[in-house]
Amino acid sequence: MATDFASFLGRFLTAYLAGLRGCSPNTITSYRDTFKLLIVFLRDERSIPPEKLTLERIDATVIAGFLDWLEASRHNSVSTRNQRLAAISSFFRWMQSQDPAHMARCQDILAIPAKKQPHPDVHHLSVDQTRRLLAQPDRSTQRGRRDATLLAALYDTAARVQELADLTVGDIRLEAPPLIALTGKGNKTRHVPLGDNTAALLNAYLGEYRLNGPGHDGDAVFVNQQGRKLSRGGIAWIIAKYQAMTHDPVLTDAELSPHVLRHSKAMHLYEAGVPLPYIRDILGHVDLSTTEIYARASTEAKRRALEAAYVDIVSDDLREWNRDPGLLNWLATL
């Protein structure tokens, strides 16, 4: 017979996360993995077998010990620790409405604070580095044209890599104004405008692969040699290949991933003066505070702001001391 914890956890992952909230498969997998680790911790460190694990045996002390174990034994980062805590907090927040008898226990667990961590650096490419990377594919070959179109679409839409991998022909509209529909976290769809050059590449690409006719709306846009849609790993491999081909030591040694291109587009938009709420909508962020990392990280925007504030105040006219009559007269009086 299933324990109360097993029953509630099953309902939480299926009926609540997948059904009521409509969370993406990746989000549900992340939550599931958190509870798998919690079960392993309780089995190995507290000698509680999974078949005897009940809600009464899980309290704030147990969760605090689990979080410490993640850092000490599994060498997880603070960010990963906080992510696991967020998943556990979501479960016990839901539990309060399911079984009020456990409300006090749930609230003790919900009171566990996330661990403070420094704001992470936003790794991004400069405009010139991005242009150099996107120019690497050999457009005289079919494979090169596919890769050039893929890189342009990934950068121009600031898509998450899974969003680009899932892109279908029906998600693209090339009539003016051209745009792409991206389905992201929580199965939420947003419409992102396309630049004219990216739209032209996509138009030529769909024509070359005969995807622009009727009956192809559900087909994947970017596929591998076997005709199956590219995976996240496949897209990352393509980026790494062209990164190595740049022969630019700064670019070659950079930490470059599909997400770095997403960061790069967001940073370039911010430094071009695009308001943060527009950037939030393009990126598909729920909260504007998530998008504000680009404002904190942009040294170029800070430089321009400082220059505007100090215009006509700070002068670069510096005289040599031995040619300053006032200073020489003052020195002579000493």
The dihedrals phi and psi of 3, each to the nearest 5 degrees, come to -75, 165
pLDDT of residue 208: 93
pLDDT of residue 20: 81
What pLDDT score does 314 carry? Answer: 53
pLDDT at 236: 94
Q: Which residues are bridge partners to 243 per DSSP? A: none
Given a cut of 80, whether residue 185 has pLDDT beyond it is: no
pLDDT level of residue 256 (50, 70, 90 thresholds):
confident
Angle of helix 142-157 relative to helix 127-134, nearest 10 degrees, comes to 150
What is the arithmetic mean of pLDDT over 99-108? 91
pLDDT number for residue 308: 59
Partners of 220 in the β-ladder:
168
Q: What is the DSSP letter of 217?
A: T
Overall average pLDDT of the 275-280 stretch: 86
- What percent of the chain has pLDDT above 90? 54
Q: Shortest CA distance to 38 belongs to which of 71, 69, 8, 66?
A: 66
The arithmetic mean of pLDDT across residues 305-317, rounded, is 57
Mean of the per-residue pLDDT values of the chain: 86
Question: What pLDDT does 249 receive?
Answer: 80
Closest by CA to 34, choosing from 66, 77, 72, is 66
Q: Does position 169 have pLDDT exceeding 90, yes or no?
A: yes
Say which CATH superfamily domain 127-306 falls into: Intergrase catalytic core (1.10.443.10)
What span, in angstroms and rounded, lies between the C-alpha atoms of 204 and 219? 16
CB 5 within 8 A of CB 55: yes
Query: How high is the pLDDT of residue 297?
Result: 63
Q: 172-188 as b/e, with b when 16 or more CB fall inside 10 Å?
A: beeeeebbbbbbbeeee
Q: Which residues are catalytic?
A: 160, 185, 259, 262, 285, 294
Mean pLDDT of 21-45: 90
pLDDT higher than threshold 60 for residue 315: no
Q: Rounded CA gap, 73 and 238, in Å? A: 35
What is the C-alpha end-to-end distance of the chain, expressed in Å? 97
- So what's the pLDDT on residue 316? 58
Q: What pLDDT is stored for residue 328 in this prediction?
A: 67
C-alpha closest to that of 320 among 330, 311, 328, 331: 328
Q: Which amino acid is at 214?
A: P
Q: Specify the CATH architecture of the domain 4-110.
A: Orthogonal Bundle (1.10)
Does pLDDT of 287 surpass 90? no
Query: What is the pLDDT at residue 230?
Result: 93
- The residue with greater pLDDT, 317 or 210, is 210
User: Which residue ranges make up each domain of the chain?
Assistant: 4-110, 127-306
The reported pLDDT for the residue numbered 313 is 53
Rounded to 5 degrees, φ, ψ at 223 are: -125, 165
